[in-house]
Amino acid sequence: MDYLGYYPAPPEPTAVKPVSVIDTASLKQLQGQGTQHVMTTSSSMVPVQEPQYCKIPVSQELTPLKKPKVEKPFTCDICGKGFKKNKNLHYHKISHLEDKPFNCDVCGKGYGRSCDLQMHKRTHTGEKPYECDICGKTFGYNSNLQSHKRIHTGEKPYGCAVCGKGFGESGGLRRHMMTHTGDKPHRCDICGKGFGQSCNLQTHRRTHTGEKPHKCSVCEKGFIQSSDLSKHMRIHTGYMPYQCDICEKRYMDSSAMRRHRRSHFRDKPFKCDLCPKQYGNRATLRKHKKTMHEGDAPPPPPPPPPVYAATELSNAAYFHGLSVVSTEGLKYGNPDVPVS
């Protein structure tokens, strides 16, 4: 039987023979006499212990070891976050200050350390030096790469103490905890809206100021946040990462793909009178006609059947050698009235 799946089973124990040992007392007597070292034998044996092997076979379920809890003796007196080192607490406290020593010359965001500012600038330059070796996705921060890799491994080391939900990164757990506490400590001084994180408040404030620091390098269109710029860039690159699993149609953003996918499972009673397209609601039909058929007129109705006077029918029948039983129905185009 294999043990732990790595090493073969231990061999049968063999007899241990006496070994020669150095008689240190004899060596001390020979010191200073110019005599070479002499190896002597002794009747004593070097104590040899039998090797100890793990007795748990690989077929038995093993309990994974939990990571030891790291002590964080240095606690922030503002938000309660703990740190292992005092210097890390010092850098963290700078994040609570309004005026930070290192400011971005593009968007004005402040940081407590110059290295954090350098990493932030990658959001403006688009530099992403960290690449996932599994799927090839790139990131501007190494920490984001490490968090992303947990998507492939399924690791969720951060667990909620209230509901037990797991998260791949500590930030996700902190944001989730606010759903239990309802805590939104960061409030907008213009409209009073509350946010769980200061970065979300900073992004929200731009809706009041009109600031759009993230510019497209192709058309120079500005955006409030970098994620909106990333979605916009797909217009220029043609990148459509979201695909419908039913018809394989592709979309640039996930919300558009989800809306499209729902169209496979609902009735479409509103039909366009200019083309074969059908829609689930009247508003979408109006939008379609405005976009695709603006200025087009609906096709004219088919012409009605010709109407003939009774005398004309009688003359035509006489000309062809036919006798008209009744012209009352024929003048209205009724085919059920016999003509003989």
Residue whose C-alpha is closest to residue 16's, from 53, 51, 45: 45
- 227 and 249 together in one domain: no
120 domain-assigned: yes
**Residue partners of 279: CB distance under 8 A and separation at least 6:** 268, 270, 271, 272, 285, 288
Q: Where are the beta strands (DSSP E) in 18-172?
A: 74-75, 82-83, 102-103, 110-111, 130-131, 138-139, 158-159, 166-167
- 124 and 187 together in one domain: yes
80 domain-assigned: no
What is the model's pLDDT at position 332? 45
- 113 and 141 together in one domain: yes
- 142 and 259 together in one domain: no
- 130 and 205 together in one domain: yes
- 117 and 217 together in one domain: yes
167 domain-assigned: yes
18 domain-assigned: no
Which of 232, 251, 276 is where one domain is finished? 232
Which of 184, 204, 232 is where one domain is finished? 232
Range of the domain at 132: 96-232
- 219 and 250 together in one domain: no
- 120 and 228 together in one domain: yes
DSSP state of 128: -
What is the model's pLDDT at position 293? 86
- Scanning the chain, the segments in alpha helix (DSSP H) are 24-30, 86-94, 114-120, 122-125, 142-153, 170-181, 198-209, 226-237, 254-262, 282-292, 310-319
- Asked whether the whole model's pTM tops 0.75, one would answer no
198 domain-assigned: yes
28 domain-assigned: no
- 111 and 185 together in one domain: yes
Cα 304 from chain centroid (whole Å): 60
Q: How far apart are CA 145 and CA 217, in angstroms?
A: 25
Domain count for the chain: 2
What is the model's pLDDT at position 81? 86
Q: Please, what are the averages of pLDDT over each run of 10 residues along the chain (340 residues)?
A: 44 47 50 49 49 53 54 85 87 79 85 84 86 87 86 87 87 83 86 86 92 91 90 90 87 86 78 86 86 74 62 54 48 47
Q: How far apart are CA 165 and CA 159, in angstroms?
A: 6
CATH number, domain with residue 141: 3.30.160.60
CATH number, domain with residue 278: 3.30.160
- 225 and 250 together in one domain: no
Write phi, then psi, for 222 (nearest 5 degrees): -100, 150
- 211 and 247 together in one domain: no
Give the N- to C-terminal CA distance of the chain in Å, as an integer.
103
63 domain-assigned: no
Q: What residue has token string 């939990």?
A: 66
306 domain-assigned: no
